[in-house]
Amino acid sequence: MKKNKGMIILFLLPAVILFCLIFLYPIMRTLLMSFFKITGVTDSMDMWQFNGIGNYTKLFSTGLFVTSMTNLAKIWLFGGIIVLSISLLLAVILTSGVRGKKFFRAIIYLPNIVSAVALATMWLQYVYSPKFGLLKTFFTKLGLESLSKTQWLDNEHKFGALLIAYCFGMIGYHMLIWLSGIERISPELFEAATIDGANKPAQFRYMTLPLLKGVFKTNITMWSVSSVAFFLWSQLFSTVTADTKTITPMVYMYTKVFGAGNSVTEHDAGVGAAVGVILSVCVVIIFTLCNKFIKDDELEF
């Protein structure tokens, strides 16, 4: 064992040091920063002014930040319902005995490996294009004049357009999580249920769903973690800085800390840090609630 001690330290050290540098230290410092008034990100600690919970109260009385939180909540809730239900539907179809399962699965997951900038560009410049867009062509062919003339990227439709494009890219990932859960349920259970006369919908309602509780929790956690970091899609879909239709907390923080300083975005790194803390707290709350209300003792992982 003595020999191993050196090996353990040697093997762990690089990873642990990097972890401390990139995660542990910054997390602690961000937490600390959120209670101070800091004009520039690069200001040294002696230039910080203690501000108590001032940054937090200021944020929640700032209209733009509240809008960004509302947008994020809408993305989380509506996007979550869309993504988790469609991905579950696709996973159920794939496990119902269709042919070419691997092919379909591969195609549905495909958008996840494409760079989000490229994917968002395809939606923005092709699907929603008012000149040669897919939706325009599609509705023109069907003879639905009014729909084909819709400006999908105007202020009225922008948020919906953004949400759908984003969800399309996320469904494949969540489908794979559902799939792994469904595939772990023993097929003998279903055989027994079929022999006992339970039809497919009943099997789904009373067997698959309850058995997927734990997987559901994984899905919600993963969805929350990725939606909290909602940034790139919002940046690509907004035409002006601080676009109220698409702004999310992360975009708000970015303009607040790194953006061009103007009347809309007075620089304040302390407030930026507070945004980070609020988002992290959101993730922790969702995670705790999930653990409290969804017990995953049904499925062995």
Partner 1 sequence: MAKVKRKKKMEPINWHKEAKLIPGYLILILWVIFTVVLLGWVIGASFSTTKEIYQGNALKFLSGFHFENYVKAWSGGNVSTFFLNSLEYSLISCVLLLLICAPAAYVLSRFTFLGNKIIQTSFVSSMGVPVIMIVLPLFSLISALGVLNNIFANKVLLIFLYVGINIPYTTIFLLTFFANISRTYEEAAAIDGCPPMKTFWKIMFPMAQSGLVTVTIFNFINIWNEYFLSLIFANSDKLKPVAVGLYGMINSMKYTGDWAGMFAAVVIVFLPTFILYIFLSEKIIGGVTGGIKG
Site membership for partner 1, residue 91 (CB under 8 A): no
Site membership for partner 1, residue 73 (CB under 8 A): no
- Amino acid, single-letter form, for residue 265: T
**Is the Cβ–Cβ distance between 213 and 298 less than 8 Å?**
yes
Q: What is the DSSP letter of 37?
A: E
Site membership for partner 1, residue 195 (CB under 8 A): no
Stretch that binds partner 1, among 54-62, 67-75, 154-162, 224-232 (CB under 8 A): 224-232
Residue keyed to tokens 């919906």:
160
What CA–CA distances, in Å, run from 245 to 70, 183, 252? 10, 40, 12
Residue keyed to tokens 């303009």:
255
Of the candidate residues 90, 91, 153, 162, the single one contacting partner 1 (CB under 8 A): 90
Of the candidate residues 2, 118, 145, 197, the single one contacting partner 1 (CB under 8 A): 118
Site membership for partner 1, residue 26 (CB under 8 A): yes
Site membership for partner 1, residue 228 (CB under 8 A): yes
Site membership for partner 1, residue 80 (CB under 8 A): no
**Interactions with partner 1, residue window 5-24 (CB under 8 A):** 7-8, 10-12, 14-16, 18-19, 21-24
Q: Give me 35's structure tokens.
A: 């209670």
Stretch that binds partner 1, among 60-68, 96-104, 259-267, 291-299 (CB under 8 A): 96-104
* Cα–Cα distance for residue pair 284/278, rounded to 1 Å: 10
How many residues of this chain bind partner 1 (CB under 8 A)?
90
> Among residues 9 and 81, whose Cβ is nearest to partner 1?
9
> Among residues 77 and 110, whose Cβ is nearest to partner 1?
110
Of the candidate residues 105, 157, 213, 217, the single one contacting partner 1 (CB under 8 A): 105
**Interactions with partner 1, residue window 260-299 (CB under 8 A):** 269, 272-273, 275-277, 279-280, 283, 287
Of the candidate residues 61, 115, 146, 186, the single one contacting partner 1 (CB under 8 A): 115
